[in-house]
Amino acid sequence: MSSHHFVKEQQEPAVFILNADEIHFDQVSPLLEWVPTVLVAEQALDQVLSWGIKIDVILGSESFQKENIQLLEEQYPVRFLNSTPENALEEGLQYLLASKHYAAHLIGIPHLQALDLQDKIQLMDLTLLDGDWKYYPVKEGDFKKWFAKSTIHIHAKEGLPVEVINENGKLILPITYATFLEVPEGITEIKASGIFWIGEQIR
């Protein structure tokens, strides 16, 4: 038996797939290495089933559950959770908190929805995968990281002033709809008075 069977289930970040249209399996595969809890919303289910991975929770409407009752056997032990496409994110996060999961990768969520998660990121560690971009929140307003020479995306409430310090110097800019920033190789420090999200391209 491989060692990961001994990992306490909730210690691994859950993987919550809301939409798989622009997601490739090779983006998700590394997140599954330690057998996390996997939640899938009904609109992503066909795609995820084609990947052949084990699903723990399927979020869907009552009619969807009735039409797909065979999944309870095929994916045993799996459970259905009542939701609509509109509230699947909220229902899934509530389920994770209730089952004491305090970290999750949210797959296929538009990064614009990140700002709707402000109350949740005080309770959980969340990352978002939106197409080729991975986003993570900075809760304390001060962030320092080594980057390769690349473009990053800073996402926050419109107008929030952000201070950026790296070898290019010091820059203060207000956040706009799409604040993309070229960063040099090395340490970049970013400070703001509120929560902001950093997006990095992963492909």
Both structure tokens of 189: 């420090």
What integer pLDDT is reported at residue 6 of this predicted model? 38
Per-residue pLDDT of the chain (203 residues; tens, 9 = 90+): 333 443 445 678 999 999 998 888 998 999 998 889 999 999 999 999 999 999 999 999 999 999 989 988 888 889 999 999 889 999 999 999 999 999 999 999 988 888 889 889 999 999 999 989 999 999 888 999 999 999 999 999 899 999 999 999 999 999 887 789 999 999 999 999 999 999 999 87
User: What is the pTM assigned to this prediction?
Assistant: 0.89
CATH number of 6-131: 3.40.50.10240
Q: Write down the domain spans for the chain.
A: 6-131, 138-201
What integer pLDDT is reported at residue 115 of this predicted model? 86
CATH number of 138-201: 2.60.120.260
First-to-last C-alpha distance (Å) of the chain = 33
For residue 191, which of 158, 154, 148, 147 has the smallest C-alpha distance? 154
What integer pLDDT is reported at residue 3 of this predicted model? 37
Cα(157)–Cα(76) distance, integer angstroms? 42
